[in-house]
Each structure stands twice: as C-alpha cells, then as structure tokens.
Structure 1
C-alpha cells in the first residue's frame, strides 16, 4: 500500500538530509550551505515545510519574512533582516529530491505552503526562479515581476510574486 505524502515542520536533525537534497537538485553554488539550512530550521521553522513520502523527506520549501522585499539581498538567505511578524514571505528554496521528481510533489508542497502562509495572515509570497520554471509558477498562481538583479549561481533569475 502506498502512503499519502505528509507535511511537517523541520527539526534540527533534518538539516543534513535537506542539505543533501538541496545540493543534488541545484547546480553549482546555487545550493544553500548546510549552515544556512540549519539556521533557517532553527530561526524560522514555521516558514520551513517538509514533504515526507514513504517515511522519508522527499522535498521541502523554506522561507523568511520581510517588511521590504529585496529579492537580490544575499544576506537575507542567512535570515539577516528576517522578521517573522512581516507580512511578506520570501521563498529561498523549493526542492524535490531528484529521485522523487515527476510525482507532483512540488505542486503539493506549494499548495500546502500557500495554505499555511494564508493561515498565518501573510499577504504576499515572493520567489526567484530560472527561465524554465516561470511557466510552472504562473500555473500555480504567481505573477511575473521582472528579471532579477541577483547573479546567484552565475545565471539569470526571475522574480515572481503571489498575493494571498
């Protein structure tokens, strides 16, 4: 019998496994470091959503909150400037283990993440993505804002936003 995926917030022991997924899914230096992932789990577990399938982590979304969103702010990835009271959510990673891709997990993760952020009273969700993900996020309800000033990983990014 195949179990339905479940969602949960992270615990500190999840950092290493999430780091392994992050580095297997992102190219080059696009992946967050283990230290950044551990910081995100420790400082804002409410903004970190894990999807488990068959008893193991299959993917996750992590985020921070800001009053003034500057998507190209590299320090924010270490939660510098993060304020959990802010109404604007900034997604830093949407990651599904490459071995688990193609099962609809990214959509399930995003749907649950949006539901939770709405329940928390957040007003907007912001993210950056590569060219090939723009259409996917538009289907999920995000709107294209602009090419990003960020050169993270040495390739172009695009800023997108959703009003909740």
Structure 2
C-alpha cells in the first residue's frame, strides 16, 4: 500500500537523495534549494510513500504556483516567487526512486497533482521535459508548446501545458 501526502522539512534528506538519483548534477535541485522550497511551499510537494516500514519515498512531484504563464529558470532558484494564489501550477520535477521506476508510480502522483490543481481553481499546469518524455506527459493531456526558453542544466527542454 502507498500514500500520497505533502512534504515537511523532515523529508528533506530523503527528497534530496531521490532528486540526486533521478537527475544529472547540473539539473538536480541541491539540498539547499530543496530546503528553501520546503520552507516556502511544502504543499506543492506531493510524495508517494510506502505505508509501514520506513515510509520510503517512492516518487514525488514538486513545483510552485504563479501567475506567470511560462516556466523560467529563475523559478527553480527563487522560492519567494511562489504565489499561493497563482493561476498556474509549475512542475519543477517528477522524480521516482530508481528501484520503483517504470511501475506507474509517477503517473499515480501526476493524477493527484492534476486533481489538486484543478480543485484549487488554477488555470492548469506547466512543466518542461526532454523530448523523449513528451509522450508520457501527453497521456495526461499536456500539450507540447515547443522548445522552452529554459536552459536549466544546459539542456534543451520542451514546455508542456495542461490547461483546464
């Protein structure tokens, strides 16, 4: 059994470990950056955890809300840009611990994030991804808007949007 819940600062070490396992160093959020995010918007971290045992983090999604329509590189670094009443839910990362990948866990969390974003009355969600993941996000209704202005981690990203 699993549970989806929001993060707390007590989850920082486990979140940082999953983040560093999922992304190259140039793209992964630092522990300090994750700490800043957790201090400002813990409710924008959705964690899928194992019930019982140690409650290990299986998968998580994080981001923040803003009225700005496009995801920009400064959003990754500046947690104070979060607006709890923002029209758009940005997604900065979709992480699944390596031993749990390709088992549908990221999809489970994404469905919850979409439902919560809709229930919050937001216009929709925005994320960036690399070309091979466009199809994954398209299955949830995200549309590819082309190459993003983001150059986070010196990578080429596609901006994807799900508008309600």
TM range (shorter): over 0.9
Q: How many residues align?
A: 160
CA RMSD of aligned residues (A): 1.2
Q: Which residue of 1 aligns with 2:50?
A: 53
Distance 1:90-1:45 versus aligned 2 partners, 3 A rule: same
Counterparts of 1:26 and 1:137, CA distance in 2: 18
Counterparts of 2:121 and 2:42, CA distance in 1: 16
In the TM superposition, 1:36-75 aligns within 5 A as 36-54=33-51, 55-71=55-71, 73-75=72-74
In the TM superposition, 1:100-111 aligns within 5 A as 100-111=100-111
Q: Which residue of 2 aligns with 1:137?
A: 137
1:81-114 Cα offsets, whole Å, 9 max, x none, are: 2211111111111100011101100100100111
Counterparts of 1:42 and 1:133, CA distance in 2: 30
| 1:28 partner SS | coil
Q: Which residue of 2 aligns with 1:23?
A: 20
Shift of 1:68: 1.5
Shift of 1:80: 3.7
1:76 paired to 2:50: no
Q: Which residue of 2 aligns with 1:9?
A: 6
User: TM-score w.r.t. structure 2 length?
Assistant: 0.92
User: Structure 1 stretch 94-103 or stretch 36-45: which is displaced more?
Assistant: 36-45
| 1:22 partner SS | helix
**What stretches of structure 2 of length at least 5 have no aligned partner?**
none
User: TM-score w.r.t. structure 1 length?
Assistant: 0.92
Counterparts of 1:75 and 1:112, CA distance in 2: 26
Distance 1:79-1:69 versus aligned 2 partners, 3 A rule: farther
Counterparts of 1:69 and 1:56, CA distance in 2: 34
Q: Which residue of 2 aligns with 1:124?
A: 124
Counterparts of 1:131 and 1:142, CA distance in 2: 13
Shift of 1:10: 0.7
Q: Which residue of 1 aligns with 2:115?
A: 115
